[in-house]
Structure 1
Amino acid sequence: MPRIKGLKDISFAKLLTDVAGKEATYDTVKKYERSVTAKITPKSESETEYSDDNVEEVVNQFSQIDVEIELNMISTQTRAFLQGSKVVNGILIESKDDVAPYVAMIFKAKKSNGKYRYVCLYKGKFELSEDNYETEADKIKTQTASLKATFMAREFDGNYRLMADEDTEDIVAADLEKWFTAVPTVPIETTSEA
């Protein structure tokens, strides 16, 4: 089984509407910076039910996804977009009143067989980014940018993530070709008659 060995094209799209029972809408998907790392940590709540002196059932429920990404850098435009700040005449203005938008995050990860895994997280909000600066010394040391976000299920349909392996037998190539042109939609199940 091929292993994940790469990461590229982390892209974002602003979530415009997300209402139960009505299709969620997004702005244009855009790649901002180059990808270095991504850590996706789904979380769930768990409760163990006991009866007759034994475990009767374990109930698990999705809670959220914690996301940490590292980018080669974070421009003022990217920071403004993810934090809900603004840029005026090329200058980033950060305010206590900024409200970060909900966004979808899309990326792909190369596998050891040369094929890709495609991932879309539907609804999340990024925290303020941390800045690290260091004086120049004898050896060159560059800085990257780390960002944290919390992703959740959409109100519209309860979905929080899509994941597709390019080398899966029943994958529809056309679905993957559109992955970065718009936020991917949930595929419709088709049944074949024997």
Structure 2
Amino acid sequence: MATIGLDKLFYAPITEDENEEETYGTPVQLAKAISVELSVELAEAVLYADDGIAQIIKEFNSGTLTLGVDDIGLSAASELTGAEIDSNGVLVSTSEDDGKPVAVGFRAKKANGKYRYFWLYRVKFAVPATNLETKGESINFQTPSIEGTVMRRNKVDGKGRHPWKAEVSEDDSGVNTTTIGSWYKEVYEPAYTTEASNVSEEDA
């Protein structure tokens, strides 16, 4: 179903253990969302046999997330890009800055009034782009954008796989209201039935 709105843009800091497996912090609001663009790059392999295509494998490789926002506060900009806030409260960006990956969550309003929710599990951002212009006869809002690379997370889920995105619509059948209600309290962790996990283990 088509979407007609976008809001509740959040990010969650990531800490990693010695195996680089992620633990997510409490989500905090990043900014007021204007736009979200997500493009995905797939790794593709084609097997030819008997003068034809016998098998095609397409797997997620990486993605590019571009966020248009009303403003990026100092704290969020520092956490996302690695820039430092000095003793005078000034955000200083250097060539050595290297921001840590974060999880990014948002929701889109559908035409029927319900919402579709998203979490991207590992995104590494670059320095925000800034657009400025002098004021003319008409007023044009200039807003920042920030671009990040979307990656699969290192931590495996209950089926031994590496998620990169979680997505759900609140009016999908079988969706627990608790799942929607707690979407921004913590980064969503995939949950599988014991039967599904056992099947995965047998196949491995």
Query: Is residue 2:94 matched to residue 1:90?
Result: no
Paired with 1:147 and 1:138, the residues of 2 have a C-alpha distance of: 28
Displacement of 1:77:
2.7
Partner of 1:61: 59
Query: Is residue 2:38 matched to residue 1:34?
Result: no
Paired with 1:105 and 1:122, the residues of 2 have a C-alpha distance of: 7
Partner of 2:178: 174
Partner of 2:11: 12
Partner of 2:61, secondary structure, is strand
Equivalence map 1:158-169=2 (5 Å): 158-169=162-173
Does the CA-based 8 Å contact 1:73-1:143 persist in structure 2?
A: no
Displacement of 1:190:
6.1
Paired with 1:43 and 1:19, the residues of 2 have a C-alpha distance of: 29
Equivalence map 1:1-194=2 (5 Å): 2-17=1-16, 24-88=22-86, 89-157=88-156, 158-189=162-193
CA-to-partner distance for each residue in 1:12-67, whole Å, 9 max, x for gaps?
A: 01111267696x31122110210001011121011221111111111212101111
Partner of 1:6, secondary structure, is strand
Q: How many residues are paired up? A: 189
CA-to-partner distance for each residue in 1:138-190, whole Å, 9 max, x for gaps?
A: 11111011111111111111111100110011001101111111111112326
Q: Structure 1's 153 and 18: CA in aligned 2 closer, same or farther, altered over 3 A?
A: farther
**Superposition TM-score, scaled by structure 2 size:** 0.87
**Superposition TM-score, scaled by structure 1 size:** 0.91
Unaligned runs of 5+ in 1: none
The structure with the greater share of residues assigned to helix is: 2
